[in-house]
Structure 1
Amino acid sequence: MATTPQPSSRPNAESNAESNAERGVLAELPELLGSDTARASGTILWRLTAERRQLDANLVRLGPGDRVAEHAEADLDVLLYVADGDGVLDLAGRSQGLRPGGVVWLPRGARRALAAGPDGLVYVTAHRRRPGMTIGRAEPEGGEPACLLHRVCDECGRLAGESDARYCSRCGTALPD
């Protein structure tokens, strides 16, 4: 069964992150793993919530046999640390066992899926903070748009309409090579 981890309802998760940030301790793993919330399947046990951060991090619990369906993260590399339990990681078509203490790099663009073992799986993910959502056109599949600077006239700034143009049709200046 594929599971979408849900945020914990722990009241002190956010307040502890802010108050403990000065001393650097944001959470205590044994405390988080020992809570009733930790036994719930598909739960985000903790997340980094400080306002002025450049990093996102989550502590996630998957119940026995639960899965995170195959997907690809197009924009961010992710570091995954196995805190408890065991499972299997499918990364770019290759299966690898996961056990406590394992550290995995999930490169951006790589297809990945997770499956928890019979005792469940608890893991930490960390990656660069995602930018806020914006309204705009989606980037076309296949990568970034082609660079057209070779078709812009240095003299007048006009973009040549023809892909093979060698001179600006407005001022006659030679286009960059």
Structure 2
Amino acid sequence: MRHRTGAAAYVGGEQRREELMAGDTRIDVRDTPKPQRHALILEAFDRLAAGDSILLTNDHEPRHLREDFERELPGSFGWESLGPDEDGSWQVRITKTTRAPLPRLVADTNALFADLDPSSAGSVWQLTPARRDLDANIIALPAGDAIDTHDGPGLDVLFVVLSGSGTLGTETGEIALAPGAVVWLPPRSQRRIDAGAEGLRYLTVHHRKPTLSITPRP
């Protein structure tokens, strides 16, 4: 990756490029393997102060990169496409508009449940941003369904009942589940979940489990 800052001239650029602010961080990823590009650009963006910009040079229009920014940093960036150059490269100016990612609405359970089939089972909603420290899911169990007795993972899980009813079985007894119930599941604790006559829908939140990296689209 070719990486320059300040007022160094962009080789082969047009006058429009030369007039950009001297503080832009200039990144050329044309020599960088495609699977590594998006992560490198996002890391460079994280290091910017609010109001500063990256001048990105790529070998194609980075549409999928913009999709990543829209998913991970909505409302926190500006995107100015400067178009293709004579040598076939493509430049984009990406500006950091907030100091940190913005809080955002990620789900509306009223709308979700209104459209949900009563027979739906399993995870019906997931927290999707890739750059996060938490995993969160909304789990649905139809009436009379159950998650069999098992030992949980080696991490804390917070469990919030959203609708329906049921019971949580532990090593020594049962806990009644109703809307509003907040349950802590300690690491490796035994649990069994049974849905009542109305079914059961609940939110789980826990620290994100380590996963394999997903290669972004070029």
With normalisation by structure 1, the TM-score equals 0.61
**Match of residue 206 from structure 2:** 127
Alignment of 1:16-165 (within 5 A): 22-35=102-115, 37-132=116-211
Match of 1:10 in 2: none
Deviation at 1:23, TM superposition (A): 4.2
Give the length in aligned residue pairs.
Answer: 118
Query: What amino acid is aligned across from residue 147 of structure 2 in structure 1?
Result: V
The separation in 2 between residues aligned to 1:103 and 1:51, in whole angstroms, is 26
CA offset at residue 69 of structure 1?
0.7
* TM superposition shift of 1:89: 0.3
Q: Is the 8 A contact 1:68 1:113 kept in 2?
A: yes
CA distance in 1, matches of 2:161, 2:133: 22
Between 1:73-82 and 1:51-60, the stretch displaced more is: 73-82
RMSD: 2.3
Normalising by structure 2, what TM-score?
0.50
Q: Residues of 1 paired with 2:150 and 2:71: CA distance?
A: 29
Deviations 1:110-150, CA, capped at 9 Å, x for gaps = 100000000100000000000126xxxxxxxxxxxxxxxxx
1:42 CA displacement: 1.2
SS in 2 for 1:39: coil
Q: Which amino acid aligns with 1:31?
A: A
CA shift for structure 1 position 45:
1.7
Kindly indicate which of the two structures has a greater share of residues assigned to strand: 2
Q: Percent identity?
A: 37
SS at structure 1 position matched to 2:110: helix
CA distance in structure 2 between the aligned counterparts of 1:126 and 1:120, rounded to whole angstroms: 20
Structure 2 gaps, min length 5: 1-69, 76-100, 213-218
Larger deviation: 86-95 or 111-120?
86-95
1:168 maps to what in 2? none
What residue identity is the alignment partner of 2:156? D
The answer (yes or no) to whether the contact 1:86–1:99 under 8 Å persists in 2 is yes
Of 112-121 and 40-49, the range deviating more from structure 2: 40-49
Structure 2: distance between partners of 1:17 and 1:33 = 23
Q: Is the 8 A contact 1:17 1:48 kept in 2?
A: no
Give the C-alpha shift of residue 32 in structure 1. 0.5
Shift of 1:17: 7.0
